[in-house]
Amino acid sequence: MNIKSCIKAAAVSAAACLLISPSVDNQGRLVFETVPSRNLHNSRIEENKSGNRVYSIADLTYQDLKLEYITDIALSFNYPSSALLRDDTKKYTIKHSEYSFIKSGGSLGQGCAQFFKKEHGVNIGTVRNLWLGSCGDLGSFTIEFRFKPTVIRDGSVLFSRTGYFSGRKRGIEITIRNGRAVASFLGVFIKPGYKANDVILSKGRQLKTGKWHHFAVSFDRISGKLVKSLDNMEEDVLFLTSSGEPFNGVMEPTFGYMNKKGDLACKDSPDAVIGKNYSGYIDEFRIAYRSYDNLDAATDIAYRDYSNTGSAGRIPYNVEGIITSPVYSFEDTGTRVTEFSWDEELRRNTFIWMQFRISDQKFKEDDVHIKWYRITNGQRNIYLKKTPSGEFLRGKFYQWRAHLVASPDGKSSPLLWNIRMDYQPDRAPNPPQFVQIAAVGDCSVTLRWKKSLESDIYGYRIYYGADPSKYDGIISQVEGKKITNATARGEYIEVTINKKVIEENRALDKKALLSFPHLKNTVLYFFTVTAFDSYKPDTTCNHESKPSKQVAGRPYAGSEIN
């Protein structure tokens, strides 16, 4: 087995499946070309006055708006419960669905769901990195649906997403209480200083049986405005800020909680539930990422046909154009993005915001499992951000998404061009130097090499075999410890390979991919040494050097005469 095959096959080798692609830019600066037309959503490419090819919003009205990135989940209830396997956006899996399908009886569309039995209800599995499964800042959002109660009963659950594993009940509940639709946010809003608050919107008109109502609760992350509306009339409004005034110390909405260290933690990932212990009809359920401010101005959105599940029933009055890049790749895993910036022309009352994501795991353009992060123009040191798993935000595969926000009057679009990124590759270490046979003994060989002075060296591996063109074993630890600079004597590292060491390392090869032959006296063996760094050691993302110069040694018991 040659060195490349050995590295690929060995379970203990961190270089097992390094993903190789052409280098993007040896200087660490990348200017992105325009994205394919399939990646333009309500956006287009045109020339500005300076002759630059720029992105702008294609349609400043809502007539042809089809932005699937605005809707997190949609349930039109246009199908029998037996056919409801995923929501209309295809992002969420329906774990349980039981209701009576009323064809052509809904408020809109082809049908609706009727709930009246004890076992009736819809359970939706939450997905991490989608809104319902998020642990981070939920941003602006709107939850809306239409419902027609046949019995007004306290405790009826119209919608719920609550969990208990953090030690208290946390999440969102929309229920019927005292004849009114009540929205409860339990431990969802966190004040500066990490105190979680229960916020309950209970004011409002009495519900009527046999009448379709439109319910919406919306939060604006910028101003802190939380509003509950029934039939397009605001019933209960709070400003969730430090002072109770708009924009001043806005509370952060999150399904997570602050632990004792002050870090955002997640223990709950409960199902979302619709229609539990409720008697009546529900139709056109949606959760959108943004809030809306002016219901009157957005009337055409509020009452539009909901057949297009890619459009939100409640989206901001400011139209967006979205440009999503393809998934690009660096040459190396663990690459650091040091700056991301772009040129823009912000016409009156327009805005541009950007998202970025990166991972060592290969993903598709529409993958929902890789988290997006909001960034600002000129964002520096993205790689210092820690992910929910505690790792730094570095990787090989990456993608960006630009949001162009039109002026509220629908007359102006911002312009975006020259999107660029600086990055710092995480290269593999240099091969170990001055590798030599320091000694031979009875069925043993001692190797010596000069320790590496590179800052992120984590350890070394020794490859050996009886054929100069292949290696049958890998030595990566001795007496339960990895071979590192800590084992050096002065400037050099010495490792003796014998039966005990070989058996110790054979046990690491769980799949028995290599033979790990014992060293026999008078047989010539060939050795090479590699170095690997501290980035995700013992994974396929780790960086391992090329092999050192090959050396040969012959075990020999020596003279029997003193």
> What per-residue string of b and e applies to 335-360 under the rule 16 or more CB within 10 Å gives b?
bbbbebbbebbeeeebebebbbbbbb
CA distance 200 to 505: 60
Q: What is the CATH number of domain 3-19+428-553?
A: 2.60.40.10
> What's the pLDDT at 19?
28
**Going along 208-278, which residue ranges are E strands?**
213-219, 225-230, 233-239, 252-253, 257-258, 264-265, 272-276
| CA contacts within 13 A on the Cβ side of 223 | 15
Instruction: Note if the pTM is more than 0.95.
Output: no
Instruction: List the pLDDT tens digit at each of the 562 positions of the chain.
Output: 334 333 333 333 332 222 223 333 345 889 999 999 889 888 899 988 888 999 998 876 544 434 445 678 889 898 899 999 999 888 899 999 999 999 877 766 678 999 999 999 999 998 777 889 888 788 888 899 999 999 999 999 999 999 876 567 889 999 999 999 999 999 999 876 667 789 999 999 999 999 999 999 999 877 788 999 998 889 999 999 888 887 777 888 988 876 666 666 676 689 999 999 999 999 989 888 754 333 333 333 333 333 333 333 333 345 678 899 999 999 999 999 999 999 999 998 888 999 999 999 999 988 878 889 999 999 999 999 988 888 899 999 999 999 898 886 667 899 999 999 999 999 899 999 999 999 999 999 999 999 999 988 999 999 999 999 899 999 999 999 999 999 888 899 999 999 999 999 999 998 888 999 999 999 999 999 999 999 999 888 999 999 999 999 999 988 888 7
Show the CA angle centred on residue 435, arms to residues 429 and 438, nearest 5°.
145
Contact 108, 306 (CB under 8 A): yes
Helix and strand numbers (H, E) in the chain are 3, 39
CA distance 316 to 294: 9
Q: Which of 43, 46, 35, 34 has its CA nearest to residue 403?
A: 43
Q: DSSP letters of 272-330? A: EEEEET-EEEEEEEEEESS--S-TTTTHHHHTS-TT-TTS-SS--SS-EEEEEPPPEE-
CA distance 464 to 462: 7
> What's the pLDDT at 194?
62
Helix H, strand E, coil C: the string for 130-157 is CHHHCCCCCCCEEEEEEEEEEECCCCCE
Contact 483, 501 (CB under 8 A): no
> What's the pLDDT at 290?
57
**Token couple for 518:** 């014992």
> What's the pLDDT at 264?
63
Same fold, 3-19+428-553 and 71-302: no
Biggest CA–CA distance in the chain, Å, is 108
3-state secondary structure of 264: strand
Q: Which of 353, 357, 362, 363 has its CA nearest to residue 398?
A: 357
Contact 97, 272 (CB under 8 A): no
Q: Which CATH number fits domain 29-61+320-424: 2.60.40, 3.60.21, 2.60.120, 2.40.128?
A: 2.60.120
What type of residue sits at position 39? N
> What's the pLDDT at 70?
67
Q: What is the dihedral of CA 203, 205, 209, 213, to 10 degrees?
A: -90
Q: Which of 201, 211, 209 has its CA nearest to residue 181?
A: 201
> What's the pLDDT at 259?
67
**Token couple for 560:** 């029997």
Domain residue spans of the chain: 3-19+428-553, 29-61+320-424, 71-302
**Token couple for 428:** 């593999």
> What's the CATH class of domain 71-302?
mainly beta
Residue 39: exposure state from Cβ atoms within 10 A (0-12, 13-18, ≥19):
middle
Q: Any residues with CB less than 8 A from the CB of 545 and at least 6 apart, and which?
A: 428, 429, 430, 431, 432, 530, 531, 532
> What's the pLDDT at 33?
93
CA distance 229 to 214: 8
CA distance 502 to 121: 60
Q: Which of 276, 274, 251 has its CA nearest to residue 188?
A: 251
